[in-house]
Structure 1
Amino acid sequence: MTPVGARPAAPVRTYDDLVADVRAGALGPDPRTLRVAVAFTTRQAVRHDGRGTGYRNEVLSLRLAEAVGSCAVEPGELPDGALDDCVGADVAALLGHPLPAVRVAALDAYLMHVAPHTPQHGARSVALPAGSSLAKSRARARAVVELLDLPDGGTVLVVGVVNSLLEALRSRGLGYVPCDLKGGLTEWGEPVVADALAAAGSCDALLVSGMTLGNGTFEPLRAHALRHGKQLVLFAQTGSAVLPRFLGHGVTAVCAEPYPFFWLDGGPGVVHRYHCPGGER
């Protein structure tokens, strides 16, 4: 059994493999012995100054000792009883919960407890300056987009549309295909595709939200990147401690942002970046 604080094990092959390893106690303490003390949701509605559209977020978070694991959900999707299901439950039971968001948040909390975002575990922290919600969003976007290694003119599939990320890609001379399950239009009237895999073939790299863990689309995208040798960079509020486990097996880099997220206050913040061995920038 790997003690808390040890360097994470070699990359796992699939998400299901990772869950199986946790259940077996292969990565840390037996999850049957660890209980969630606090469960909570965070909701926000935002419309940045100078932007013509807004959006809403809702996130389920679980507190395990010093760690908080999170999974974003569609606003209004989480049943009222989900929090009651989580409080006092052991991690092993929550890994089998019928709601995907509960399963992901529990896995994230466990892995955050076992391997927090520290240099010992491969993380390099990047400070986000204090400022308005838009200023901090743009600072985070720069930290994410710097993880891509593409020449001018490359095309990036962006799964989980964040306007600041699209701005940052344009500033790098990169094209993009915005993708979100809801479809629609970007801030600048660009069509948003709904089928990420259908669009992936025409793109040189993938820039993907951790929300894909909760909606079941992460594994197909990871498999596509692995099969075609494409960069897969993840920006993760959902599953920030989960996704670094796939570095070197379809995942090129991760910008991990555990709770509390940048949009919760105007003070300084931090994100944690991970790269494949030999791919540090």
Structure 2
Amino acid sequence: MFVSLLALAVTMAAPPAKDPNDVRVMSYNVRYATAKDGENHWDKRKEFLAETILAFDPDLLGTQETIALQRDFLAQKLPGFGVLAAGRDDGKEAGEMMALFYKKDRFEKLDGGHFWLSETPDKVGSKGWDTSLPRMVTWVKLKDRKVASAPALVYFNTHFDHRGPTARVESAKLLRKKAAEMGKDCRVLITGDFNSGEGSAPYKALFGEQDGKPSPVVDTLRAFRPTADKEEGTATGFKASATVGARIDWIGVSRNWDVKDAAIDRTARDGRTPSDHFAVTAVLKLKAE
């Protein structure tokens, strides 16, 4: 009886079987490669991180804290993917990138670009409010090659400031506004490291009601798993045991998606994780008319 119950638990916890029409999404803060991380330095963990990504097999991947050499390494490991990325300092190669990767056999790129999380979002490298560093959003508009009837997909990837509380709230408001405007008559997807936990002011600014109106996007993990768990922390410090704490990495989607699965990827080896964040994932399906 014990074995049967255990088997049932494992079956229930497993993600749904792959459906070719599903969209598999992964968001990953990969920890910038020049950090002095000793045994956890990028050169010692990059293959493990790439293997973790490939094991999930995303159709869409958003990475944060990605510098140019990391973008290029991941592009090499993901040869069937298109890549869109720009440095936050100059809009080119300088500074961390919010890199987007998309499977080219699944999606056709229609448009794409970047904006900065500031009062002047179109100004390259601009800083806003009480932010400590330039912060930005990279976005891409995609056509689904497999589901011809599906509306276009507008995908945003970002990383909010780690110090400025006002900047995080205002960044969430700006992102919500952009998602509503740019995602009109489309599907919307948002990934990122928000440096804010569930229930925080930035979380409410992005996902909560505003002037009595629901947000255009919902939190995939909470949509799939309505009751929060104390072990939903996503910042690890490279320790596999660091599961308690704030869930600061989110995947948000518009309401015309069904969330078939949402999870925190706890992949580890010898007690160490591939990055100082756990990846977060979602499996999505276009909602029936």
Q: TM-score, normalised by structure 2?
A: 0.30
- Return the structure number with greater strand share: 2
